[in-house]
Amino acid sequence: MNISKLAKQKTEYKNIAINSAFLFAIIILLFVIEIFVFWGIYGEGATASRISELWYVEIILDYFPIVLIGGYLMFKTYKNYKSQKYVESETNIITLVILILLFLIRNDIQQLIF
């Protein structure tokens, strides 16, 4: 399918807004769950502080939720594209872009909420 044909497809803006809000709430929830799981495993001591400063632990705690949700959206996009549901695949791609943009400003949003 050409890019021009894909651009002329109808876009479901309502689904984009609902999916973006829902999946961003899931990302925030995954961050909270990660914090409680880390706290439950390692506690509050100096060992937990040293473990949390390791580079790979920081990467896991910071980026695992967006990778998980992004992988889910890319899987849905691939599945919809193979079954020639181009509107749904375009909706998933736009939702992923919006989530990545929200992820970039997540610290500001978390400070407003909490």
Percentage of residues in the chain with pLDDT exceeding 70?
89
Nearest to 20 by CA among 78, 91, 80, 87: 91
Output the pTM of the full model: 0.75
For residue range 22-41, list pLDDT tens digits in order: 988 898 899 899 989 988 88
Residue ranges of domains in the chain: 12-113
How far is it, in rounded angstroms, from Cα 92 to Cα 5? 17
- The predicted structure's pLDDT at residue 81: 86
Helical axes 86-104 vs 106-113, angle rounded to 10°? 70
Q: Give the three-class secondary structure for 23.
A: helix
- The predicted structure's pLDDT at residue 69: 92
- The predicted structure's pLDDT at residue 8: 66
Which residues, other chains included, contact 30 with Cβ-Cβ below 8 Å and sequence gap of 6+? 64, 65, 68, 69
Residues of the chain with pLDDT under 50: none
